[in-house]
Amino acid sequence: MKLKLFVAIAVVAALTASAEAQKKPTKADVDKVVKLISADKAKVKIYCDMAKLGDQAQEAEQKKDTKKSDEIAQKMDEMSKQLGPEYVAVMDGMQNLNDKEADAISAAWEPLDKLCGQ
């Protein structure tokens, strides 16, 4: 699930990244976002739906189906905005993390993943 979610995040981040350099998110930033989303059942559903789309995005990437990938990325971009500006900011910043940094904060997403049955 985590790998698929990070693939999905990368797709969304590529679409939503601005020309400005984005701040690297910290574990505390992720914890704050997880708490905000966890407190709202509608946002939890959106997050879980995005995780499912992440699976589809990974499948489309493997099949080199750029049209499908673009469609999914657009859906995920719209959905991510519904999760709030804090979520969008963290996701934008995720693209600036190296593998070691991403690994260090990836566990912070687990409470949300568990809410999705993962």
pLDDT for res 95: 87
Residue 51 · residue 118 · CB < 8 Å: yes
Q: What is the identity of the amino acid at 23?
A: K
How far is residue 38 from each of residues 2, 35, 90, 102, 115, measured CA to CA in Å? 17, 5, 16, 21, 8
Number of domains present in the structure of the chain: 1
CA distances from 84 to 34, 90, 112, 118 (A): 11, 10, 15, 22
Residue 40 identity: D
Can you give the pTM of this predicted structure?
A: 0.77
Question: Can you give the pLDDT of all 118 residues of the chain as single tens digits?
Answer: 554 555 556 555 554 444 345 688 999 999 999 999 999 999 999 999 999 998 899 998 899 999 999 999 999 999 999 999 999 999 989 888 998 988 889 889 999 999 998 6
pLDDT at position 40:
96
Cβ atoms within 10 Å, residue 20? 7
Residue numbers of the domain that contains 72: 2-15+24-115
Taking each helix axis from N to C end, the angle separating 66-82 and 2-16, rounded to the nearest 10 degrees, works out to: 90
